[in-house]
Structure 1
Amino acid sequence: MSSHPQRQTDRGTAPLPGRVPTGGVPAQPPRPPGAFLQARKQARKPRPKRTGVRRFLPTWRMTLGGILLFLLLLTGAFAAGYLLVEIPPANATAVKQSNVYLYADGSPLARDGEVNRENVPLTEVPKPVQHAVLSAEDRDFYSESAVDPKAMIRAAWNTVTGKGRQSGSTITQQYVKNYYLAQEQTLTRKVKEFFIAIKLDREKTKDQILTGYLNTSYFGRNAYGIQAAAQAYYGKDCADLTTPEGAYLAALVNAPSAYDVSAHPENKARADARWNYVLDGMVKEGWLGERERAAMTFPKPGRTKAPPGMSGQRGYLVEAINTYLSGSGAIGEDTLQAGGYRITTSLDKRKQKAMAEAVKTQLMSRLSTSNPVDRYVRAGGASIDPQTGRVVAMYGGVDYTKQYVNNATRRDYQVGSTFKPFVFSAAVDNRSTTQDGRRITPSTLYDGSNRREVQGRSGPTGYRPGNEDGTDYGEITVAEATDKSVNSVYAQMGEDVGPEKVKQTAIALGVPKDAPGLAEARQSVALGVVNASVLDMAKAYATLANHGKHGMYTLVDKITKGGQHVSLPEREDRPAISRQAADTTTMMLRSVVANGTGTAAQSAGRPAAGKTGTAEEDKAAWFAGYTPDLATVIAVMGQDPKSGKQKPLYGATGLDRINGGGYPAEIWGRYTAVALQNTAAKSFRLDLQPGAEAEPSEPAESASSGSPSASSGSPSGSPSGSPTSSAPATGGSSRPPSTAPSRSPSHAPTTSPVTPPDEDEFFPESDGF
Structure 2
Amino acid sequence: MSGKRRAAVPTQKTKKSPKRPRTRKQKIWRFARWVLVAGLVGLLLVTGGFVYLYRSTPIPDPNKDFETQTSFVYYADGKSEVGSYAKQNRESISIKDMPDNLQNAVVAAENRTFWSDKGIDPRGIIRAAFSNAKGNSTQGASTITQQYVKILYLTQERSYQRKMKEAVLSLKLQRTKSKTEILEGYLNTIYFGRGAYGVQAAAEAYFAKDAKDLSLRESAVLATVLNNPSKFDPANGRDAREALKERYDYVLNGMADAGNITADEAEQAERRLPKFPKIQAESRYGGQKGHMLTMVRSELKKLGFKDEQIDGGGLRVTTTFTQKAMNAAREGMLAQRPEGKEFSDKNLHVAVATVEPGTGAVRGFYGGQDYLKSQINWAVTGGQVGSTFKPFAVAAALKAGFSLKDTFDGNSPFYYNEQGTGPKVKNEGAGDGQSYGDHVSLLQGTEESINTVFADLTVSMPDGPDKILTTAEALGIPKWDKKQHDYNNIDNSPGLEPISGVALGSATIAPVNMANAYATIANGGRAAPAHVITKVTDKDGKRLYTFKQSTKRAITEDVAADTSYAMQQVVKSGTGTAALGLNRPAAGKTGTATNSKDQVSSAWFVGYTPQLSTAVMYVRGKGNEGLDGWLPQYFGGSYPARTWTDVMTRDLEGTDPEEFPPAANLDGDAPDDGHAPYTPPPSPTKKPKPSKTPSNTPTNTPTESETPPPSDTPTPTGDPSCGLIGCESPSGPPSSSPPATPPASSAAPGGQGAREGRGRRRVRRG
Instruction: Name the TM-score class by shorter chain.
Output: 0.7 to 0.9
SS in 2 for 1:621: strand
CA distance in 2, matches of 1:188, 1:44: 49
SS in 2 for 1:392: strand
Question: Could you list the per-position Cα deviations for residues 239-261 of structure 1 after superposition, in whole angstroms to 9, with x for gaps in the alignment?
Answer: 55555555554454354445545
CA distance in 2, matches of 1:249, 1:594: 59
Question: Could you list the per-position Cα deviations for residues 489-544 of structure 1 after superposition, in whole angstroms to 9, with x for gaps in the alignment?
Answer: 54565564455554444443333343253576555554434333332333323222
CA distance in 2, matches of 1:553, 1:260: 27
Select which of 541, 552, 560 maps to 1:575. Answer: 552
Given residue 425 of structure 1, which amino acid in structure 2 is its aligned partner?
A
Select which of 475, 493, 500 maps to 1:509. Answer: 475
SS in 2 for 1:347: coil
CA distance in 2, matches of 1:741, 1:423: 26
Contact 1:589/1:610, CA 8 A, preserved across alignment: yes
Task: Using CA pairs under 8 Å that are at least 6 residues apart, name the structure with larger relative contact order, 1 or 2.
Answer: 2
Given residue 340 of structure 1, which amino acid in structure 2 is its aligned partner?
G
Matching residue of 2:91: 118
Select which of 381, 389, 401 maps to 1:419. Answer: 389
SS in 2 for 1:394: strand
Matching residue of 2:673: none
CA distance in 2, matches of 1:531, 1:387: 24
CA distance in 2, matches of 1:199, 1:219: 26
Matching residue of 1:664: 640
Given residue 175 of structure 1, which amino acid in structure 2 is its aligned partner?
Y
How far apart are 1:612 and its partner, in Å? 2.8
SS in 1 for 2:607: strand
How far apart are 1:670 and its partner, in Å? 0.4
SS in 2 for 1:354: helix
Q: 1:67 to 1:307 in 2, by over 3 A?
A: same
Q: 1:294 to 1:125 in 2, by over 3 A?
A: closer
Given residue 517 of structure 1, which amino acid in structure 2 is its aligned partner?
P
Contact 2:412/2:433, CA 8 A, preserved across alignment: yes
Select which of 75, 80, 83 maps to 2:55. Answer: 83
Given residue 321 of structure 1, which amino acid in structure 2 is its aligned partner?
V
How far apart are 1:603 and its partner, in Å? 2.4
* Mapping 1:532-547, distance limit 5 Å: 532-547=509-524
SS in 2 for 1:586: helix
Contact 2:249/2:270, CA 8 A, preserved across alignment: no
1:327 is the counterpart of 2:302: yes
* Mapping 1:567-606, distance limit 5 Å: 567-580=544-557, 581-606=559-584
Question: Could you list the per-position Cα deviations for residues 1-31 of structure 1 after superposition, in whole angstroms to 9, with x for gaps in the alignment?
Answer: xxxxxxxxxxxxxxxxxxxxxxxxxxxxxxx
Q: Please list every run of 5 or more consecutive structure 2 residues that lacks an aligned counterpart in the other structure.
A: 1-15, 482-491, 670-690, 705-728, 737-766
* Mapping 1:26-425, distance limit 5 Å: 46-47=21-22, 59-90=31-62, 94-105=66-77, 106-112=79-85, 114-126=87-99, 129-130=102-103, 133-134=106-107, 136-155=109-128, 164-183=137-156, 188-241=161-214, 245-260=218-233, 262=235, 267-280=237-250, 282-283=252-253, 286=256, 289=263, 292=267, 296-297=271-272, 301-329=276-304, 331-363=305-337, 366-369=338-341, 371=342, 375-410=346-381, 413-425=383-395
SS in 1 for 2:384: coil
CA distance in 2, matches of 1:689, 1:134: 70
CA distance in 1, matches of 2:29, 2:641: 73
Contact 1:604/1:671, CA 8 A, preserved across alignment: no
Q: How many residues align?
A: 648
Matching residue of 1:681: 657
Q: 1:647 to 1:167 in 2, by over 3 A?
A: same
CA distance in 2, matches of 1:606, 1:43: 98
Q: Give 1 or 2 for the bigger CA radius of gyration.
A: 1
CA distance in 1, matches of 2:108, 2:95: 17
CA distance in 2, matches of 1:566, 1:401: 33
Aligned CA RMSD, in angstroms, stands at 4.3
Indicate the larger mover: 76-85 or 62-71.
Answer: 62-71
CA distance in 2, matches of 1:245, 1:523: 49
Given residue 742 of structure 1, which amino acid in structure 2 is its aligned partner?
T
Contact 1:91/1:181, CA 8 A, preserved across alignment: no
How far apart are 1:575 and its partner, in Å? 1.7
Q: 1:455 to 1:391 in 2, by over 3 A?
A: same
Q: 1:418 to 1:519 in 2, by over 3 A?
A: closer
Q: 1:168 to 1:692 in 2, by over 3 A?
A: farther
CA distance in 1, matches of 2:627, 2:107: 49
Matching residue of 1:550: 527
Output the TM-score relative to the length of structure 1: 0.72
* Mapping 1:350-749, distance limit 5 Å: 350-363=324-337, 366-369=338-341, 371=342, 375-410=346-381, 413-429=383-399, 431=400, 439-450=401-412, 452-454=414-416, 464-467=424-427, 471-473=433-435, 474-475=437-438, 476-491=440-455, 493=457, 496=461, 497-513=463-479, 514=481, 515-517=492-494, 521-523=498-500, 525-580=502-557, 581-617=559-595, 618-639=600-621, 645-650=622-627, 654-655=630-631, 658-685=634-661, 688=664, 690-691=666-667, 739-744=696-701
Q: Please list every run of 5 or more consecutive structure 1 residues that lacks an aligned counterpart in the other structure.
A: 1-40, 432-438, 640-644, 694-733, 748-761
CA distance in 2, matches of 1:649, 1:672: 27
Contact 1:142/1:206, CA 8 A, preserved across alignment: yes
SS in 1 for 2:351: strand
CA distance in 1, matches of 2:220, 2:498: 34
Q: 1:564 to 1:655 in 2, by over 3 A?
A: closer
How far apart are 1:393 and its partner, in Å? 1.3
Given residue 476 of structure 2, which amino acid in structure 1 is its aligned partner?
G
SS in 2 for 1:75: helix
Q: 1:122 to 1:380 in 2, by over 3 A?
A: farther
